[in-house]
Amino acid sequence: MRAAGGLSEALGTPRIAGAVGIVSALLLGIVMVLIRNALPADPTDATGWLTDSSRRDALQVALGLLPFAGIFFLWFMGAVRNYVGEAEDKFFATLFLGGGLLFVALFFVFAAVVGGLLATADTSQAASPPQLWQYGRHLTLTLLSGYCTRMAAVFTLSTTMIGHRLGIFPRWLAWLGYLAALVLLFVRVAYSELVFPVWILAVSGHILRTALRPQRPQAPPVTPYRTGGPPK
């Protein structure tokens, strides 16, 4: 896929993509779990949530990690696209970029909504209407499970198609990507969004393992002997 002059770049880019992908997957998973655990399953349980400081602290930690998760995800996108190089298909490359960038944008909007939800938990404003908290909770979960996951599905599907067509992904990883995209598109249950960081972790681990695998030295070309005697 690359010329000989870009050999060092081709050898270094997979390591970068694998490393930052693993970090991004871990941060995304931690943020999603913290927010899911902090928000109560019962939408009418506003009083208990407002008086439980541990849940609000968990949201504060998630908000602190979320920007770094987005940054590492963008770095992962750039490293993967650089690894594919000129062999990428324009159609799937457009879906790859569009899905990834929209996912990060919606994820940051999701963070802003979570910050607004924390603002309603100000104990000095005990008279805050519970309807405001319920609206913030509904908007937070809708952004996470309704919009972020669908853009993640577009990114997953396009990346899988590119990797499968170019032979970068083995068959098991391609099928895992197709399955993850279907789950992200159509399944809306609690914690189903964790399929996305799990898929990123699998892709990153495969890329990093392939990059660290020792390359077999190529045998020098054999010059055939001329008929009737050794070569001159």
Residue 201 CB-half CA count within 13 A: 12
**pLDDT for residue 57:** 87
Q: Which two tokens stand for residue 121?
A: 């938990």
- Which residues of the chain fall below pLDDT 70? 1-13, 43-51, 86-87, 121-130, 213-232
- In this structure, the dihedral spanned by the alpha carbons of residues 163, 176, 75 and 6, taken in order and rounded to 10 degrees, is -30
Contact 192, 198 (CB under 8 A): no
Contact 79, 16 (CB under 8 A): yes
Model pLDDT for residues 95-149, shown as the tens digit of each residue: 999 999 999 999 999 999 988 888 776 644 555 566 777 788 888 889 998 899 9
Q: How do the domains of the chain map onto residue ranges?
A: 7-212
**pLDDT for residue 149:** 95
How many residues can be counted in the chain? 232
- Whether pTM > 0.85 for this model: the answer is no
**pLDDT for residue 45:** 67
